[in-house]
Amino acid sequence: MARMKFLCDADRCIECNACVTACKNEHEVPWGINRRRVVTLNDGKPGERSISMACMHCTDAPCAAVCPVNCFYTTADAIVLHDKDLCIGCGYCFYACPFGAPQYPRVGNFGGRGKMDKCTYCAGGPQADNSAAEYIQYGANRIAEGKLPLCAEMCSTKALLAGDGDIIASIYRERVTKRGYGSGAWGWRTAYKEGVQA
Amino acid sequence: MLIKRSDGKAARQRLASAYQGLSGGGLDRRGFLRQAGLGGAGLAALGALPVLTARRAEAGPTNFAQPITRRKNMCTHCSVGCSVIAEVQNGVWVGQEPAWESPINRGTHCAKGASVREIVHGDRRLKYPMKLVGGEWRRISWATAVEEIGTKMAAIRASSGPDSVFMLGSAKFTNEAAYLFRKFSAFWGTNNVDHQARICHSTTVAGVANTWGYGAQTNSYNDIRNAKTMIIMGGNPAEAHPVSLQHVLTGKELNRANLIVIDPRFTRTAAHATEYVRLRPGTDIPIMWGMLWHIFRNGWEDKKFIAERVHGMEDVRKEVEKWDPAEVERVTGVPGAQMERISKIFATEKPSTLIWCMGVTQHTVGTANVRALCTLLLATGNVGSPGTGANIFRGHTNVQGATDLGLDVTTLPAYYGLDENAWRHWCRVWETDYAWMQGRFGSKALMELPGIPSTRWFDATLMPGERNKEGAGEAYVQQPDNYKGMVVFGHGGNTVTRMPEMLKGLEKLELLVVADPHPTTFSQISNRRDGTYLLPICTSFEMDGSRTASNRSLQWGEKIVEPIFESKSDYEAIYLLAKKLGFADRMFKNIKVENDQPLAEDLLREINRGAWSIGYTGQSPERLKLHMAHQDQFDIVTLRGKAGTPVAGDFYGMPWPCWGTPEQKHPGTHQLYNTNLHVKEGGGTFRARFGVERNGQTLLAEGSYSKGSEIQDGYPEFTVAVLKRLGWLEELTERERASIEFHFGPNIDRASWANDLSGGIQRVVMEHGCVPYGNAKARANAWNLPDPVPVHREPIYTSRTDLIAKYPTLPDRRGFRMPHLGVSVQNRSTTVVKDFPIILSSGRLVEYEGGGEETRSNKWLAELQQDMFVEINPADAAARNIKDGSWVWVMGPENQSKAKMKALVTERVAAGVAWMPFHFGGWWQGEDRRKYYPAGTDPVVLGESVNSITTYGYDPVTYMQETKCTLCQIRAA
């Protein structure tokens, strides 16, 4: 069944951070909250590789499994969203998430945590699409406008792909076949319980 | 106000440990910087916004009931030329969308391009004109500012002459603003006008132009997709030009191409290479000659190409013979087997291209480096066809255009130079009397004498002029008086080496005008108390105008929103100053001005009427706008407009040369010197600009010519005299002929392809399939340069003092009105190296650009790089008890210079080499100078500048500064 996925081609990612600032730009995400970030392995050594990471919108999302207030829900496109009006900022999802996606604003003193924030796949939240209320809590809703997440759309080397899982998997497969190498669709087994076979 | 806070320790520890798993063991470069941000600063900033995670300052959420306008402009950061699509509602830039149709970026951006909208919201922009009074910033009106600045400039002019005001322009100007600023300086009466090309690719322009004619990238970013082998040398496009990597990596993948990175530092680009070559900083020429040693020895050179199209290769052979593998390894550190491997790949797996950036250019041997790289391309026949060429990635958004339009101490717009013919040409274009123009200058000699480059302006402030030179020996400036005033448009204050001395110069200036969207380092770094003016100038997003990308394509940007706050455009600011100084009517004779706003289109039309020498004549505003409207109709590999569209046959952006008048519809030139195409289809030959013969050898091409040429051999550049001899003169139309006769009268024979304002000569010769500038050989031997064939010279400050005797730098000399020291400084190395054993190099980060004032003020970018740092090898760090992430002092060998920053211990740099980013400013020798900025304009992130440590050293041809190899010492703080 068609579902939305992210795929980061680590052989293309150059850690330019366009995905990070595109996300900030689109949703006016404040300082200190990083819905997306780029992680570099073997920094400065041969074999250095970078991967752009955000919420992967997992199949059977572990965050949803541990949430004590059931604030997560999955859309028809398999995008994992949450309701900030229900969220109590407990932080369980952060521990459950294999990708470190959940972010929390600090509220008040004593390290108190605010409501969780994470990548929405540019799909907003439970409020009416593209309403002011939705924007304030979740940012823009590009999916409702028929557009894909801005991070992937603006990726400088087209390393980060977003869209229908089958389509982006075939793009990646074709790329790997043409160039003769590929380090795999990073995180797919964890997130989607399947890989991409070249 | 500081966003960053240092409390919240508990949070930091918890988050830090959670993130450690993600960075794969150990801390990566961003890891350690970002953790400080996440724990300390990140979460703290949200105190005021407990529940909400997002807000939109002015605009609020997009209201789909209201109309949204889409406007297209270009990213203002690097030279790739990415299109930016802005969504505008109620005059506010509310959203940014991918520009899929652009053949250059195809919707994509890097961190800077994806965040440009913030710059035009501009929390930290300079909001109104300000003046420094007794050390305090005071708000003034534009009228007051222009009145006071003009009065002071006129006073300096009266007492010291026009050459005592330095005009520092910008690579971020639009073409029209660059041209206008150069014209302004001419009308003011000085050649002391410069911009950032001096400190990024001036040596490229000099080296490349002296080799084959034009100082520019020969091919394009897109064309790299055709290459089978790419060498990237002294460049890190993954950080400096990320969108270019889209083309590089696609080429690498589709052609299974070789990507060889030659750099002292294992860069993020090197991480994607098929082979990485680590050399000792400052040994580029030995690498090139070492490669040619293998190529000549094995007969891998392109003999036909050399015979037909290259002059002086035998002189190179003699020099190359000295660079056997043993000597190359001794000097550069690169083993012979690797040299042989990359030489074979480059020479035999063709087409091959050489990509270079500032690692090649910013040296005391910068021009020679560039020439050596060009020679490698010529020897292997890799110039003038798809997939080959010198793909020089320039730095700023419009540094190519600003160079082309003469923001340079050595030339008028379009490289005409400064001689009387050049002045007469531009006076004809400007419809201004030559005698009047001459009267604006101190003398005819000064009018034709190159000015003082931006790398030395403070020396020209501190040394006396000719009228006070008694007792100064050679340490004087060859003009009536030294600098008393400086007018800076769009130029950072921390980008030039030797900042401790720059500070002294700054304090001595009577007048300092900084016209910029931000106050820049100039505003706060010195202890000036009076006589500084800050003028808020809008960004290129807030004005119309064209810009020239690195591949010579012109793109038209449309104004997205009105200038914010009290900002004005460059055009308006320059116009107001000209009006105050009394020459606006003359200067804007053929340019429409409405409400003090000069019309950008008219400025470009004037450029079109004058810039024949480089073919900036066919790109009218109408044609450029047509290209922008039909971006999707261009092929992404050939850049050619598709058949059946309004742009059919054109190359995207009409890369110059775009010959003739706009009506002649020349398509532009995608690949320079490409003989496989007809000149009217963008073909070309090497330029005949160095005569026709030397020492009995012809300098014209032999048996090589561009497709369809009626002259099937080399030929000189075209003048009326040549046309007469060929019997082509009669083909000029009556109007063309009348124009030539009107301008040249009895000297009609001297009218040429470059100064005929009618465009007739270019039209006629192209009808015969000939290239207006002639058909010559490229020069492997450039006899007019200090080293006609490049030779290795050790850096001024070298840690290999054993090599100085064999490879000394040039002797002390004079140039550009200034003394220029070489050997006398280099001899210090022998003692300096004992206390300063580490080689210091510098470079770029992806998040920031240039001096960094603009990008460090952008909160989305600043969050990603919060600290100035120095990269240091684990061996050097261990020997100094320096831990990753700890504070260190870096000390330089001149002026007891020192700077405090964080250490990043990494194998990215070799032992004995340290590296720093050059974007930081706002700290000075450990002191945070945030409070000296006008309130509310301080960048989010401040830090020490690498140039507080950098030292003396200049290229003899262009006075390019040495930034890539000096010496330093590092200690734990």
- Tell me what the mean pLDDT of segment B729-735 comes to: 96
Q: Per the structure block, which two tokens stand in for B193?
A: 């006008």
Share of chain B above pLDDT 90, in %: 92
Interface list for A 47-76 with B (CB within 8 A): 47-50, 53
Whether residue B462 lies within 8 A of chain A, CB to CB, comes out as no
What interface predicted TM-score (ipTM) does this complex get?
0.96
Query: Across the interface, do A22 and B269 touch by the CB < 8 Å criterion?
Result: no
Give the domain ranges of chain A: 4-192
Chain B hits for A38, Cβ within 8 Å: 30
Helix axes B366-379, B284-298, angle to 10 degrees: 20
Closest CA to A37 of B268, B908, B847: B847
Interface list for A 6-25 with B (CB within 8 A): 11-12, 14-22, 24-25
Distance, in Å, from the CA atom of B79 to the CA atom of B551, rounded to the nearest integer, reads 8
Angle subtended at Cα B925 by Cα B922 and Cα B931, rounded to the nearest 5 degrees: 35
Chosen from A9, A11, A14, A15 to mutate, greatest number of chain B CBs within 10 A:
A14
Q: How confident is the model at residue A1 (pLDDT cuts 50, 70, 90)?
A: low
Closest CA to B549 of B73, B81, B72, B78: B81
* Domains identified in chain B and CATH numbers: 9-48 (no CATH), 130-200+400-610 (3.40.50.740), 218-392 (3.40.228.10), 669-779 (no CATH), 801-972 (2.40.40.20)
Residue whose token pair is 């190159």: B450
Q: What is the pLDDT of residues B944-970, one digit of tens each?
A: 999 999 999 999 999 999 999 999 999
**In terms of pLDDT, which residue wins out, B560 or A109?**
B560
Residue whose token pair is 């009609």: B748
Is residue B512 within 8 A of residue B506, CB to CB? The reply is: yes
Distance, in Å, from the CA atom of B122 to the CA atom of B400, rounded to the nearest integer, reads 27
Residue whose token pair is 């997130």: A191
Interface list for B 908-947 with A (CB within 8 A): 908
**Residue B565 neighbours by CB distance under 10 Å:** 12
Ramachandran quadrant class, B783 (left: phi over 0; alpha: psi -120 to 50; beta: rest) = alpha
Residue B512 CB-half CA count within 13 A: 32
The pairing of strands B593-594 and B554-557 is: unpaired
Q: How confident is the model at residue B61 (pLDDT cuts 50, 70, 90)?
A: low
Residues contacting residue B646 through CB under 8 Å, at least 6 positions apart: B626, B630, B633
Q: What is the pLDDT of residues A109-124, one digit of tens each?
A: 777 788 999 999 999 9
Nearest Cα of chain A lies from the Cα of B879 at a distance, in angstroms, of: 20
Ramachandran quadrant class, B188 (left: phi over 0; alpha: psi -120 to 50; beta: rest) = alpha
- Tell me what the mean pLDDT of segment B727-753 comes to: 95
Distance, in Å, from the CA atom of B963 to the CA atom of B946, rounded to the nearest integer, reads 9
Distances in Å between the Cα of A47 and the Cα atoms of A42, B684, B856 are 6, 42, 30
Order of strands across the sheet that contains B92-97:
B69-74, B83-89, B92-97
Is residue A59 within 8 A of residue A192, CB to CB? The reply is: yes
Q: Per the structure block, which two tokens stand in for B706?
A: 């561009």
Q: Tell me what pLDDT residue A145 has.
A: 92
Distance, in Å, from the CA atom of B176 to the CA atom of B605, rounded to the nearest integer, reads 9
Order of strands across the sheet that contains B352-356:
B275-277, B258-262, B229-233, B352-356, B389-392
Q: Tell me what pLDDT residue B65 has.
A: 74
Residues contacting residue B663 through CB under 8 Å, at least 6 positions apart: none
Residue A65: what residue type?
Answer: A
Q: How confident is the model at residue B122 (pLDDT cuts 50, 70, 90)?
A: confident
Q: Tell me what pLDDT residue B30 has.
A: 38
Closest CA to B213 of B396, B378, B35: B378
Nearest Cα of chain B lies from the Cα of A71 at a distance, in angstroms, of: 15
Residue B639: what residue type?
Answer: L
- Tell me what the mean pLDDT of segment B583-605 comes to: 97
Chain B hits for A41, Cβ within 8 Å: 23-24, 28
Query: Across the interface, do B42 and A33 touch by the CB < 8 Å criterion?
Result: yes
Is residue A9 within 8 A of residue A175, CB to CB? The reply is: yes
Give the CATH class of A4-192.
alpha beta
Q: What is the pLDDT of residues B633-691, one digit of tens each?
A: 999 999 999 999 999 999 999 999 999 999 999 999 999 999 999 999 999 999 999 99
Ramachandran quadrant class, B525 (left: phi over 0; alpha: psi -120 to 50; beta: rest) = alpha
Is residue B429 within 8 A of residue B610, CB to CB? The reply is: yes
- Tell me what the mean pLDDT of segment B335-364 comes to: 97
Share of chain A above pLDDT 70, in %: 98
Q: What is the pLDDT of residues B714-724, one digit of tens each?
A: 999 999 999 99
Is residue B344 within 8 A of residue B300, CB to CB? The reply is: yes
Is residue A40 within 8 A of residue A48, CB to CB? The reply is: yes
Distance, in Å, from the CA atom of B821 to the CA atom of B165, rounded to the nearest integer, reads 24
Residues contacting residue B540 through CB under 8 Å, at least 6 positions apart: B73, B74, B76, B172, B173, B174, B397, B398, B547, B557
Chain B hits for A45, Cβ within 8 Å: 266, 907-908
Buried b (16+ CB within 10 A) or exposed e, B652-681: bbbbbbbbbbbeeebbbbbbbbbbebebbb
Q: Per the structure block, which two tokens stand in for B33?
A: 């910087």
**Residue B696 neighbours by CB distance under 10 Å:** 5
Angle subtended at Cα B14 by Cα B13 and Cα B20, rounded to the nearest 5 degrees: 85
**Residue B58 neighbours by CB distance under 10 Å:** 11
Closest CA to B379 of B343, B326, B334: B343
Q: How confident is the model at residue A147 (pLDDT cuts 50, 70, 90)?
A: very high
Closest CA to B819 of B438, B478, B354, B548: B478
Indicate whether B368 pLDDT > 80.
yes
Whether residue A190 lies within 8 A of chain B, CB to CB, comes out as no
Which chain B residue lies closest to A133 (C-alpha atoms)? Answer: B61
Q: How confident is the model at residue B60 (pLDDT cuts 50, 70, 90)?
A: low
Closest CA to B511 of B129, B933, B153: B153
Q: What is the pLDDT of residues B173-210, one digit of tens each?
A: 999 999 999 999 999 999 999 999 999 999 999 999 99
Q: Tell me what pLDDT residue A110 has.
A: 75
Q: What are phi and psi of B890, to 5 degrees?
A: -110, 130
Is residue B169 within 8 A of residue B183, CB to CB? The reply is: no
Q: Tell me what pLDDT residue B20 has.
A: 36
Q: What is the pLDDT of residues B700-714, one digit of tens each?
A: 999 999 999 999 999
Three-class SS state of B260: strand
Residue whose token pair is 């990646």: A172
Residue whose token pair is 């959203």: B95
Query: Across the interface, do B61 and A156 touch by the CB < 8 Å criterion?
Result: no
Q: What are phi and psi of B917, to 5 degrees?
A: -75, 150
Chain A hits for B860, Cβ within 8 Å: 20-21, 24-25
Q: Per the structure block, which two tokens stand in for B87?
A: 């969504």
- Tell me what the mean pLDDT of segment B248-270 comes to: 96
Indicate whether B6 pLDDT > 70.
no
Which pTM does this prediction carry? 0.93
Residue B695 CB-half CA count within 13 A: 4
Q: Tell me what pLDDT residue A87 has.
A: 96
- Tell me what the mean pLDDT of segment A84-92 comes to: 94
Indicate whether B42 pLDDT > 80.
no
Query: Across the interface, do B108 and A104 touch by the CB < 8 Å criterion?
Result: no
- Tell me what the mean pLDDT of segment B879-887 comes to: 97
Alpha-helical regions (H) of B670-759: 720-726, 734-744
Whether residue A155 lies within 8 A of chain B, CB to CB, comes out as yes
Query: Across the interface, do B46 and A117 touch by the CB < 8 Å criterion?
Result: no
Is residue B261 within 8 A of residue B277, CB to CB? The reply is: yes
CB-neighbour burial class of residue A173 (10 A; exposed 0-12, middle 13-18, buried 19+):
middle
Q: Tell me what pLDDT residue B2 has.
A: 34
Which chain A residue lies closest to B87 (C-alpha atoms)? Answer: A26
Ramachandran quadrant class, B666 (left: phi over 0; alpha: psi -120 to 50; beta: rest) = beta
Chain B hits for A134, Cβ within 8 Å: 61
Q: What is the DSSP letter of B901?
A: E
Alpha-helical regions (H) of B651-727: 720-726
Residue whose token pair is 């949200």: B46
Average pLDDT of the residues of chain B: 92
Whether residue B55 lies within 8 A of chain A, CB to CB, comes out as yes
Q: What is the DSSP letter of B807?
A: S
Which one of B54, B111, B246 has the shortest CB-CB distance to A27? Answer: B54
Whether residue B246 lies within 8 A of chain A, CB to CB, comes out as yes
Interface list for B 611-640 with A (CB within 8 A): none
Q: How confident is the model at residue B48 (pLDDT cuts 50, 70, 90)?
A: very low
Whether residue B37 lies within 8 A of chain A, CB to CB, comes out as yes
Q: What is the pLDDT of residues B838-863, one digit of tens each?
A: 999 999 999 999 999 999 999 999 99
- Beta bridge partner(s), residue A37: A53
Residues contacting residue B381 through CB under 8 Å, at least 6 positions apart: B301, B302, B304, B305, B306, B350, B388
Residue whose token pair is 């419809």: B431
Q: Per the structure block, which two tokens stand in for B192?
A: 């002391």
Q: How confident is the model at residue A196 (pLDDT cuts 50, 70, 90)?
A: confident
Interface list for B 813-852 with A (CB within 8 A): 846-847
Q: What is the DSSP letter of B884?
A: T
Residue whose token pair is 């076979």: A197
Q: How confident is the model at residue B62 (pLDDT cuts 50, 70, 90)?
A: low
Distances in Å between the Cα of B179 and the Cα atoms of B404, B412, B431, B717 are 9, 9, 16, 26
Distance, in Å, from the CA atom of B879 to the CA atom of B224, rounded to the nearest integer, reads 43
The pairing of strands B545-548 and B813-815 is: unpaired
Is residue B375 within 8 A of residue B390, CB to CB? The reply is: no
Residue B170: what residue type?
Answer: S
Buried b (16+ CB within 10 A) or exposed e, B793-811: bbbbbbbbbebbeebebbe
Whether residue A138 lies within 8 A of chain B, CB to CB, comes out as yes
Q: What is the pLDDT of residues B329-346, one digit of tens each?
A: 999 999 999 999 999 999
